Amino acid sequence: MKWFLILWAFPIALLGSWYGLSYYDMNFGIFMLTRDAHDLVFQIYGNILGIPPESIPPLVARAIVVDSFIVLGIVAFRRRRQILAWWQARRQSSPALARDESLSSAP
């Protein structure tokens, strides 16, 4: 599970770092971090996909959000017993929470 999360987070962090540095042209002498390279990459992707280059970053952000929900759902499914035990312990230790739940479930 640890490797699954690492292999999910590393590409997102790498892409986000590249995007942020190249968007603001903080290149540190590396061509790939220049704004020219940034515009060129999105121009190439736009030509390949047949869409305007400025519409690609929101699509990528949306894909990252969807993938993140899927990964977090997998993690929650794998730890469902721990989450259920935590929820039951929390419910038993908090009388106010138990009282509120009993009122909401009353007919």
Residue 65 to residue 53: CA distance in whole angstroms: 20
Q: Is 22 exposed, middle or buried (0-12, 13-18, 19+ CB in 10 A)?
A: buried
Q: How many residues does the chain have?
A: 107
Q: What was the pLDDT predicted at 99?
A: 58
What is the pLDDT tens value at each position of the chain, 107 positions in all?
788 889 999 999 999 999 999 999 999 999 999 999 999 999 999 999 999 999 999 999 999 999 999 999 998 898 889 888 888 888 888 766 555 555 555 55
pLDDT score recorded for residue 78: 87
Residue 41: name the closest of 19, 8, 14 by CA. Answer: 19
pLDDT at 93: 83
